Amino acid sequence: MAVSPIDPVKLDKLAEVAIKVGLQLQPGQDLVLTAPIAALPLVRRIAHHAYKAGAGVVQPIFSDEEITLARYRNAPSESFDRAPAWLFEGMASAFSGNAARMAISGDNPMLLSKEDPDKVARANRATSLAYRPALEKITGFDINWNIVSYPNPSWAKLVFPDDPEDVAVRRLADAIFAASRVDIDDPIAAWKAHNAHLKDRWTWLNGHAFSALHYTGPGTDLTIGLADGHRWKGGASEAKNGITCNPNIPTEEVFTTPHAQRVEGFVRSTKPLSHQGTLIENIEVRFAAGSIVEARASKGEAVLNKVLDTDEGARRLGEVALVPHSSPISKSGILFYNTLFDENAASHIALGQCYADCFVGGTRLSQDEIAARGGNRSLIHIDWMIGSDQIDIDGIKSDGSRVPVMRRGEWA
Ligand code: ZN
Ligand code: ZN
């Protein structure tokens, strides 16, 4: 058997960080874990650390790229309007029983790029609808959850197309380890320091209680009103079940909820958006009264328009996030084709569903109360990058006064 190009010590540290920092898994807590089958070596280390932390039952649920493709190439048309609702209902019931949730990302982001876009859209919609009971417990932050990544060969070859597979996998693995802060001696201490730094940022933003942010730069003059009673957060935060977790590993962002009706102006994307197998480049949109009224892209425009037509909330914003241009992921210069990484390379906005937890007392608010404060609702949540070293951001207070927040992509 060939020797794996992935450093086993760092892989083990990633698993340990996922359990101890990402989830802070508690003794007796069950864990629902989804992963590509290629990530089995990481899943095994995660199970090891989960049980050492006192896990009840660790239940992995695997997917496989070839099985996914087999469906697109052989299944009858009706298949694409279906989804395993029973599985998602089971997940929702596990979360109601306080199970933690971990997802390992690592599939080839371009897997479906050559498949029928109509089938892809229908399957996504069916899955989104069926997944909703489980997803609402995640977006409502009922339980501790976490996403980490594994360098699948198919993903590695997309990021480093000129390298042989083992070199590409090693390079992607090293980039994941560095971004996830497990390439240093004491990753747990490093995460503590990083979380404290992010907390300084969101504490400052909450202190100013801005009513809007104003972005200016090439192709961009955008005012994003913030939701009433919004709060900024980032890094570690406490789920409704009382457990403090780090949902995303890596993470560099501080973020909050924009007001779904108060976004005006135009904005240009600064990095390509990889969306379910399609690369959407140079997005240019115009907002009026919170909704996208014009949308263009130099590549992938048809897919962008399909996304915007998902539902009423798909044209409105559900998240605004600030990331300095000098973030380690941005400095790596790598385009990962994976939102978990690429969104942490630049300031971004997200179309679609907002996070209830980005409101003061948000986890106790009903859906109607969240909507009344300006929180958006949608089947989608898609982040795309609008930050660069040419973007300035001002915070606008309710009396109209302005405070510099970022200058040329860095904290002012
Ligand atoms: Zn974000
Ligand atoms: Zn997001």
The number of the ligand nearest the C-alpha atom of 344 reads 1
Mean predicted confidence (pLDDT) in 177-190: 95
Nearest ligand, measured from the Cα of 251 = 1
Mean local confidence (pLDDT), 172-200: 96
Which ligand number lies closest to the CA of residue 381? 2
Lowest average pLDDT, out of 81-85, 89-93, 350-354, 358-362, goes to 358-362
Return residues with CB closer than 5 A to ligand 2 (ion). Answer: 319, 350, 383
| Residues above pLDDT 90, as percent of the chain | 86
**Contacts for 117 with CB less than 8 Å, ≥ 6 apart:** 278, 302, 303, 306
Q: Tell which residue, 128, 198, 152, 112, has the closest CA to residue 336.
A: 152
Residue with tokens 């994941």: 176
Which pLDDT band, with edges at 50, 70 and 90, does 1 fall under?
low
CA 12 to chain centre: 23
Q: Which of 180, 173, 120, 158 is nearest to 337 (CA)?
A: 158
List pLDDT tens digits, range 118-150.
899 899 889 999 999 999 899 888 999 999 999
DSSP letter for 266, please: E
Cα 29 to middle of ligand 1, angstroms: 27
Nearest to residue 97, comparing CAs of 49, 22, 28? Answer: 28
Supply the pLDDT for residue 143: 97
Q: Give residue 342 CA to ligand 2 midpoint distance, Å.
A: 11
Q: How confident is the model at residue 8 (pLDDT cuts 50, 70, 90)?
A: very high
CATH architecture, range 8-179: 3-Layer(aba) Sandwich (3.40)
State the average pLDDT over residues 201-207.
97
Most confident of 26-30, 236-240, 342-346, 364-368: 26-30
Higher pLDDT, residue 49 or 111: 49
Residue 86 CA to residue 384 CA, distance in Å, equals 32
**CB distance 16 to 49 below 8 Å:** yes
Dihedral, CA of residue 267, residue 273, residue 279 and residue 284, to nearest 10: 0
Concatenated DSSP letters of 180-249: TT-SSS-HHHHHHHHHHHHHHHHHHHHHHT-SEEEEEETTEEEEEEEPTTB--B-SSEE-TTS-EE--BS
Which spans in 97-186 are helix H? 117-139, 153-159, 165-179
Cβ atoms 330, 323 nearer than 8 A: yes
Measured on CA atoms in the order 336, 337, 338, 339, is the torsion positive or negative? positive
**pLDDT at residue 257 tops 90:** yes
Residue 117 banded pLDDT, cuts 50, 70, 90: confident
The confidence score (pLDDT) of residue 2 equals: 64
Predicted pLDDT at 60: 98
Q: Report, as an integer, the average pLDDT of 29-56.
A: 98
According to the model, what pLDDT value does residue 321 have? 98
**pLDDT > 60? residue 357:** yes
- Residue 59, CB-side half-sphere exposure with 13 Å CA sphere: 14
Q: Is beta strand 258-268 parallel, antiparallel or unpaired with respect to 220-226? A: antiparallel
Q: Which of 210, 266, 228 is nearest to 375 (CA)?
A: 228
Distance 285 CA to ligand 2 centre (A): 18
Domain boundaries, the chain: 8-179, 210-235+248-411
Give 253 Cα–ligand 1 centroid separation in angstroms.
6
Distance (Å) from CA 145 to ligand 2 centroid: 15
Q: How many angstroms from the chain centroid is the CA of residue 10?
A: 23
pLDDT over 60 (residue 182): yes
Q: Per 3-state DSSP, what percentage of the chain is helix, strand, and coil (rounded to 5)? A: 40, 25, 35
Contact 106, 150 (CB under 8 A): yes
Tell whether pTM > 0.75.
yes
In angstroms, what is the span from residue 35 Cα to ligand 1's centroid?
21
CA distance 291 to 20: 40
How sure is the predictor about 328, in pLDDT bands with cuts at 50, 70 and 90?
A: confident
The two beta strands, 254-256 and 31-36, are unpaired
Task: Give the mean pLDDT of 149-164.
Answer: 96
Which ligand is nearest the CA of 322, by number? 1
CA of 148 to the centre of ligand 2 (A): 15
User: Mean pLDDT of all residues in the chain?
Assistant: 95
In the reported structure, the alpha carbon of residue 383 is separated from the centroid of ligand 2 by a whole-number distance in angstroms of 5
Any residues with CB less than 8 A from the CB of 75 and at least 6 apart, and which? none
In this prediction, residue 361 has a pLDDT band, given cuts at 50, 70 and 90, of confident
C-alpha span between 258 and 260 (Å, rounded):
6
- How far is ligand 2, taken at its centre, from the CA of residue 123, in Å? 21
Q: Contact, 338 vs 109, CB < 8 A? A: yes
Residue 402 CA to residue 396 CA, distance in Å, equals: 5
Higher pLDDT, 333 or 283: 283
Task: Name residue 116's amino acid.
Answer: D
Residue 339 CA to ligand 2 center (angstroms) comes to: 8
CA-nearest of 399, 139, 363 to 229 is 363
Identify the band that residue 159 occupies on the pLDDT scale cut at 50, 70 and 90: very high
